[in-house]
């Protein structure tokens, strides 16, 4: 289980969030069969997604999505996180790898490459806000700091790190975001910059000192005060973090509705059923012939599709099975509203 803490420093002029995502990153590595450098990239991205979710969200129902569209061998890297502490992620080429950099570090920037960072925020009222910025380095932390400056106009220090053992497992993973709030004295900014320069990289700090001590060292001399989360119901004074997907056996079955009756019968004849794999978590679901045949043909008029791209929004079979995506986001980015007339 991961952990998130938050606090203030410099008499409220600095806002701080920190996360230990060691277990979360290790689960992602095992689920996706990640290479060492892909593990570092996904671990940094998931940590950044969680920190942004807590930083930007106003309710627990909101979600933050990150899409790193780089030209490196990793391909696309996607993350979805929420202020409930859940996160999921996947990469287009999870086993892609590059040689170490000349300084002996994992070449995350080269694996991700140059391109665009796309950020989506799903609000509790169903509205979606999308924005994009250039990937300045592909190292994840610098890219997120650039996004926060471009979109929020608040200077932020974003530090993300993952240390991988020789056998590929995760020794330590986590990160810190320190936001400089408006009206912060220049002396506070100078002190913070001196601290950041003195401690060096965040990865060895997390591995050797742990999350809590790392935050204290980064904010030494700035009057750091950790927020008491027990008053919010978190008995251990941290917010738990976890890798968690939204897939299910039922959703896997519903996906077969997109195939017609003859195609589904071919699955039974050729394979004895059907296997569905969730790209977010790599969970595999086996659909039996009985389950496949339970999908009757649609009743008359029982189908609604996106007026822009034709994606299925609502489906009702003659025997009463319903698939409804009201309030979600369509694959084309349009908000799903079933008040739309059915597509002919």
158-204 confidence digits (pLDDT tens): 999 999 999 999 999 999 999 999 889 999 999 999 999 998 789 99
Phi, psi of 308 (to 5 degrees): -95, -45
Task: Give the integer Cα–Cα distance in Å for 199 and 203.
Answer: 11
List all residues 6 or more positions away from 83 whose beta carbon is below 8 Å from its beta carbon.
Answer: 53, 54, 57, 59, 60, 62
Express each pLDDT in 237-270 by its tens digit.
Answer: 999 999 999 889 988 887 887 787 788 899 999 9
Confidence bin at 300 (pLDDT 50/70/90): very low
CB 3 within 8 A of CB 238: yes
CB 32 within 8 A of CB 282: yes
> For position 340, what pLDDT does the model report?
46
Phi, psi of 12 (to 5 degrees): 85, 5
Q: Report the pLDDT averaged over residues 33-60.
A: 94
Confidence bin at 69 (pLDDT 50/70/90): very high
> For position 299, what pLDDT does the model report?
46
């Amino acid at each position: 289980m991961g952990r998130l803490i938050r606090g203030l420093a410099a008499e409220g002029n600095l806002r701080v969030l920190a996360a230990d995502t060691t277990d979360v990153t290790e689960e992602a590595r095992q689920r996706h069969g990640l290479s060492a450098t892909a593990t570092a990239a996904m671990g940094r991205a998931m940590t950044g997604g969680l920190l942004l979710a807590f930083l930007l969200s106003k309710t627990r129902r909101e979600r933050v999505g990150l899409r790193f569209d780089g030209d490196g061998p990793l391909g696309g890297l996607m993350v979805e996180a929420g202020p409930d502490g859940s996160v999921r992620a996947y990469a287009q080429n999870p086993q892609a790898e590059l040689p170490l950099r000349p300084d002996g570090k994992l070449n995350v920037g080269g694996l991700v490459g140059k391109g665009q960072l796309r950020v989506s925020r799903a609000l509790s009222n169903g509205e979606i806000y999308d924005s994009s910025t250039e990937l300045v380095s592909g190292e994840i932390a610098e890219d997120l700091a650039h996004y926060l400056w471009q979109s929020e106009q608040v200077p932020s220090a974003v530090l993300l790190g993952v240390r991988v053992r020789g056998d590929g497992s995760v020794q330590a993973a986590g990160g810190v975001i320190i936001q400089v709030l408006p009206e912060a004295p220049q002396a506070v900014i100078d002190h913070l910059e001196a601290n950041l320069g003195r401690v060096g990289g965040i990865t060895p700090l997390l591995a050797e000192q742990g999350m809590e001590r790392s935050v204290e060292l980064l904010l030494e001399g700035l009057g750091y005060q950790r927020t008491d989360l027990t008053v919010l119901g978190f008995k251990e004074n941290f917010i738990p973090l976890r890798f968690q997907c939204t897939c299910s056996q039922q959703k896997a079955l519903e996906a077969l509705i997109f195939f017609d009756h003859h195609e589904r019968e071919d699955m039974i004849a050729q394979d004895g059923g059907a296997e569905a794999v969730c790209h977010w978590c790599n969970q595999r679901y086996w659909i039996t012939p009985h389950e496949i045949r339970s999908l009757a043909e649609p009743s008359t008029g029982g189908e609604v599709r996106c007026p822009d791209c034709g994606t299925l929004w609502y489906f009702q079979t003659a025997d009463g099975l319903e698939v409804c995506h009201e309030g979600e986001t369509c694959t084309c980015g349009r908000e799903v509203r079933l008040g739309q007339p059915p597509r002919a």
